Amino acid sequence: MHSSYTYPIGTPGEKWGEAQRKQWRAQTSIKRHYQQEVIPKIDALREQFDVEQYGALSYDPARYPLYCIKSKNWQPHKPVVLVTGGVHGYETSGVHGALEFARTEMARYSQEFNIVVAPCVSPWGYETINRWNPLALDPNRSFYTDSPAEESANLMALVASLDGEILVHIDLHETTDTDESEFRPALAARDGIEYIEGMIPDGFYTVGDSENPQPEFQAAVIESVSKVTHIAPADEKGEIIGSPVVQHGVILYPMVKLGLCGGVTNCTYGTTTEVYPDSPKVTAQECNLAQVAAIVGGLDYVLAEQSK
Ligand SMILES: [Zn+2]
């Protein structure tokens, strides 16, 4: 039980002000390098695809340019597929899984779709291994008009600039042990509420949109990923992270209402993947491949639906 748990910043029961947010930012540090680990992988795709810069983070624009990778033969009659990674920068396989998809599978699917991949929406979070941005804002609760999180605002502007209807959006995430050990306690402290301990499920699951669940699409994603890694079981309450499991490995959130990246488009088929990288049963590369399998499983399902 964590009833007596106190986060080292702020006063229990009181929302953080500017001073606490600054204190939080002061204890962050660079732990890995976007320019060395991510940008070279993006650059390596420039021959095959159109790489475009869609913005830069104002904290350090030279250090944090924002890139997307687009199909070269963008044609108005083809439906658009959006893949996003690193909305939570610490969720490593979201970033590297998106890049792995671009490297290995995107060309094949570019015959049928216009594809745009934004592999690292939150590069500061990638470098500091953080869920929040430097303002202690969660980009994945900030997808709404006039967003105060520039990571989210930049992606929304990219989406608005795309030519054609977005049919599919797959947003790549992880659920990690640090969600319970660090990020949820920090959230409770920031918002001045009590931290109630939760449980991190061992395995992959997806989050669909409660306003448009697309159960068969979710099932196709789960089926594809299950060939690469194990699917999270429901807990004894029939839940995963506090939400009812509506079908094997699937929970639902109201994407738009919560300001989630999964609500950034009006797509027909949308899912948010949740890879569990802390399982003793998986390697980092398997996590990346699970993300690729999720995208491929989803796209194969959509192609099959379209040919009916
Ligand atoms: Zn996430």
Reported as a single tens digit per residue, the pLDDT across 97-153 is 999 999 999 999 999 999 999 999 999 999 999 999 999 999 999 999 999 999 999
Longest dimension (CA), the chain: 59
Average pLDDT over residues 270-282: 96
Distance between Cα 262 and ligand 1 center (Å): 11
DSSP state of 152: H
Q: Taking 70 as the threshold, does the pLDDT of residue 2 lie above it?
A: no
Q: How far is CA 51 from CA 41, 70, 154, 263, in A?
A: 11, 6, 16, 24
State residue 3's pLDDT score: 47
Nearest to 208 by CA among 265, 156, 273, 161: 273
Of all residues in the chain, what percent carry a pLDDT higher than 90? Answer: 96
Distance between Cα 47 and ligand 1 center (Å): 30
User: With contact defined as beta carbons under 8 Å apart, do 289 and 273 qualify?
Assistant: no
State residue 133's pLDDT score: 98
Q: Taking 90 as the threshold, does the pLDDT of residue 5 lie above it?
A: no
Q: State which residues have CB under 5 angstroms from ligand 1, the bound ion.
A: 88, 91, 173
Query: In the chain, what are the helix, strand and coil shares in percent, each to the nearest 5?
Result: 35, 20, 45
Distance between Cα 75 and ligand 1 center (Å): 31
State residue 1's pLDDT score: 43
Distance between Cα 114 and ligand 1 center (Å): 25
Distance between Cα 275 and ligand 1 center (Å): 9
State residue 6's pLDDT score: 76
State residue 211's pLDDT score: 98
Average pLDDT over residues 92-96: 98
Distance between Cα 87 and ligand 1 center (Å): 7
Rounded Cα–Cα distance for residues 139 and 270 (Å): 18
Q: State pLDDT tens for residues 227-263.
A: 999 999 999 999 999 999 999 999 999 999 999 999 9
User: With contact defined as beta carbons under 8 Å apart, do 183 and 131 qualify?
Assistant: yes
Average pLDDT over residues 58-80: 96
Distance between Cα 78 and ligand 1 center (Å): 29
User: With contact defined as beta carbons under 8 Å apart, do 126 and 86 qualify?
Assistant: yes
Distance between Cα 70 and ligand 1 center (Å): 23
User: With contact defined as beta carbons under 8 Å apart, do 279 and 88 qualify?
Assistant: no
Angle between helices 284-306 and 215-225 (to 10 degrees): 140
State residue 201's pLDDT score: 94
- Name beta bridge partners: 253: 209
Distance between Cα 128 and ligand 1 center (Å): 15
Distance between Cα 237 and ligand 1 center (Å): 23
Q: State pLDDT tens for residues 161-176.
A: 999 999 999 999 999 9
